[in-house]
Structure 1
C-alpha cells in the first residue's frame, strides 16, 4: 500500500518495481538457504565461520531486532483487522494482544507444529483474500493518478523497501532448510542444491509479489473511495478490508476474522526464530547457562506487545523507516556469507568443520567481516534516504543504500579476508 498511498507511484510503476526488485532480491536468501541443508547448521551458526564466535553477536542482535520489527508490523495489521470488525468493543490494542497471544501458543509447540500450521493455513487465507477481492474489487480500478511520471528517486526508494523485505530472509532461511536431507530430495534430473534453491526462491517470490501488487492497488484506490479513506483513517488496513467485505454482510465479518488470524503464522515463525537467535547468545557468556526456549519466547512477547501498540500510532512512518534501515545491514550480512562460501570455500560445504562450531579459538576472529561492514557504511550513509535523514547523494539519486552496502561490503571483504 505504501507504494501508491505514501510514495505516490502509479499502480503500473509500482507493480514493475515490485516484480523486478523481487526477482533480484530473492536470489541471495534462496542461495544462502542451501547451506542449512548441506551443513545442518542454523544460519547464525554458519555465520560464525565468517564473524567468529564473539563478533557474530553484532549481526545476531541486528537480526533479532529485524525479525522483531517484522513481527510488530504483522501484529499491528492483525490488530487493525480484528478491531475493524467491531471498533466500539475491540480496540486495535486489544486486537494486537489477541494475535500475539495466539501466535505465542503456536510457537511454543515447536517446529513440527509450526510447520504443520504453515502447511495448511495458507488455504483458508487464500480463499479469504479471493473473497475479499471479489467483494471489493470493483473499486480497485479507481486509481489516484500521479501528477508526474515516476522519478528515479521514487523508484529506488520503493526498491529499497522491497530489498529490505526480501534480503533480510538471509538471516533466518538456514534455520529451516536444515530440516531437509540432501540425500532425501535428490532426483536423477535435479540436484538437491538446485531443488532447495528453487523451493526457497519461489517460496519467497510467489506468495509475496501478488499480494504486494494487490496492496498497491488498494493503496491507490483508498483516496478515491470515501468509505475506504474513512476506514483507513480509523482502523488502518483492517478498516479497508472491512469495507471491501461489506457487501457480504455477516459472512464478511467471518472472512475478516480469517484474514486477521492469517498473520499468526508470520508471528509464530518469527518468535521461533527469535528464540533460536537468543539461544545463540548464550555460549559466549563466561558461565554456563541453560535457558529453555519458552523463556525467550515469553520475554519476546512481553517486549513486543507494548512496542506494537506504540508503533501502531504512526504505522506508515514506522514501517518505512524500519524496512529501509534493516535492508542496509542485511545486504552486508548476505554478501559476506555468499563470498565466504563461493570465493574462499569454493562451494565446498565440508570446509565448515562441525567440530569447531562453538570453539572460539578455532573459529576466525571475524575482523575481516566486521571491518568490511563498517567500511562500507562510510559510503552508505551519503546515499541513505530516510524521513529523518537524506544523504547528499541520495537527494538526487534516491535511496541506493542497500545496493551500495551489498557491493561495497563485498569489495572490502575480498582483500581483508
Structure 2
C-alpha cells in the first residue's frame, strides 16, 4: 500500500526529511525502527566511504603543491585534480571523470522530485508527462550550471543556507499538521484522502 502524503508517513518514520515520496513504497505496518535502521545504514555507509576516500586522497597529495595553490589555480576542481590526476597519473584522471559523472546520479532523485512536486501544483499539471517535466528541468539546471561554473563556491554556499532553512520550515509544517489539524492523534490520518484536497489541511500534499 502506498500514500503520497508526507505528513501521514511521518507517523511511521522518525526522520522528517525522508517522510515523503521516498519512503511511501513500504507496507503500512512496517515498524518504525526498521525504517530508521535501514535509513541510518544507507546514509552512513556512503558517507563513511567518502571520508575514507578523502583520507586516502590526502596521502597521494603532491608535497610540492599546497592546498592553497591548487585551490587558487582551479578552485574545488584543483583540489581534486592535485590529489588524484597529478600523483596517480591516468588512473587518477579516470577517477576524476567518474567523480564528474557522479553528478548526474545525484541529480536523478532531484529531477524525480521536481516532476512529482510540479504535478502536485494543480490537477491540470498531472496531464503533463513526468519525463517532459524532467527534460525541461534538466535543461534549466544545465544552463544554470554553465552560468554558475565561475561562481560555484558562492552559489553552493547560498544553496546550503536555503536547504537548512527548508528543513526547519518543513518540520514546522508537519508538526503543525499533526498537533493542530490532526489533533495529535495518528488515527486522524486517513490514507484514502491523500488525493482529496477538500479533506486535507490547506497546502498539504
Instruction: Establish whether TM, by shorter chain, passes 0.5.
Output: yes
Question: Which residue matches 2:160?
Answer: 323
Question: Which residue matches 2:27?
Answer: 181
Question: Which residue matches 1:259?
Answer: 99
Q: Which of 117, 121, 127 is the aligned partner of 1:290?
A: 127
Question: Which residue matches 2:12?
Answer: none
Matched, 1:306 2:143: yes
Q: Which of 33, 36, 41 is the aligned partner of 2:3?
A: 41
Question: Which residue matches 2:38?
Answer: 199
- Cα deviation for residue 311 of structure 1 reads 2.0
1:200-241 per-position Cα deviation (integer Å, ceiling 9, x unaligned):
23323443366469769989xx9x963543433343333322
Q: Which of 179, 192, 195 is the aligned partner of 1:355?
A: 192
Contact in 2 for aligned 1:47/1:337 (Cα 8 Å): yes
Question: Cα gap change, 1:357/1:314 in structure 2, threshold over 3 Å: closer, same or farther?
Answer: same
1:319-367 per-position Cα deviation (integer Å, ceiling 9, x unaligned):
1222113312320211331454478343x2x53223332333322235x
Question: Which residue matches 1:244?
Answer: 83
Q: Which runs of 4+ in 1 moved over 4 A?
A: 212-219
- C-alpha separation in 2, matches of 1:320 and 1:288: 32
SS in 2 for 1:226: coil
Q: TM-score, normalised by structure 1?
A: 0.40
Of structures 1 and 2, the one scoring higher in RCO (CA 8 A, sep 6+) is 1
- C-alpha separation in 2, matches of 1:296 and 1:308: 18
SS in 2 for 1:262: helix
Contact in 2 for aligned 1:271/1:300 (Cα 8 Å): yes
- Structure 1 unmatched runs, 5+: 1-38, 50-166, 187-191, 370-417
- Structure 2 unmatched runs, 5+: 10-14
SS in 1 for 2:87: helix
Q: TM-score, normalised by structure 2?
A: 0.74
Question: Cα gap change, 1:181/1:357 in structure 2, threshold over 3 Å: closer, same or farther?
Answer: closer
Question: Which residue matches 1:268?
Answer: 108
- C-alpha separation in 1, matches of 2:97 and 2:111: 22
Contact in 1 for aligned 2:6/2:21 (Cα 8 Å): no
Contact in 2 for aligned 1:227/1:243 (Cα 8 Å): no
Q: Paired residues, what number?
A: 193
Contact in 2 for aligned 1:48/1:363 (Cα 8 Å): no
Question: Cα gap change, 1:318/1:209 in structure 2, threshold over 3 Å: closer, same or farther?
Answer: farther
1:14-69 per-position Cα deviation (integer Å, ceiling 9, x unaligned):
xxxxxxxxxxxxxxxxxxxxxxxxx7223xx33599xxxxxxxxxxxxxxxxxxxx
